Amino acid sequence: MSEMKEKKKIPVKVRKIEGGESLREVTVKIGLERIDMHKEITVEVLLDSKVTGLVMSLEFARKKRFKLKKIERHIYVRNMDGMFNKKGLIKHTMKVNRDIGKGWR
């Protein structure tokens, strides 16, 4: 007889945003490695089904001392509601290894 596998519950966080509304979001912890120094850090990231890459704030990247490279053509960022993101354009890129539970990539 086969055993039934227990389904894992995905933790959902609820936080208050401007205007007192509640926002539900799913986050997971992943590992990031600074390629230039082979230094690893663990960060909590927001899962977004429409994001095709790893995006972080300029402040966070500078605080963690990632090596940034300016890009020629800036990237406009829109929120889920279609409005432009108040943090502005993406103006830098970087190389980073990431571990999402399947080894470094």
Query: 89-98 pLDDT, tens per residue?
Result: 889 988 887 7
- Separation CA 64–CA 79 (nearest Å): 25
Alpha-helix runs per DSSP H in the chain: 58-63
> What domain range includes position 33?
12-99
Q: What is the pLDDT of residue 1?
A: 47
Task: Return the structure tokens found at 53.
Answer: 């890459």
The answer on pLDDT for 73 being more than 90 is yes
pTM here is: 0.60
28 found inside a domain: yes
pLDDT digits (tens, 9 = 90+) for 17-46: 666 676 667 777 888 888 777 788 888 877
Total domain count, the chain: 1
Beta carbons of 72 and 50 less than 8 angstroms apart: no
Residue of 59 and 13 predicted with greater confidence? 59
Whether 3 is covered by a domain: the verdict is: no
- Whether residue 6 is contained in a domain is answered as no
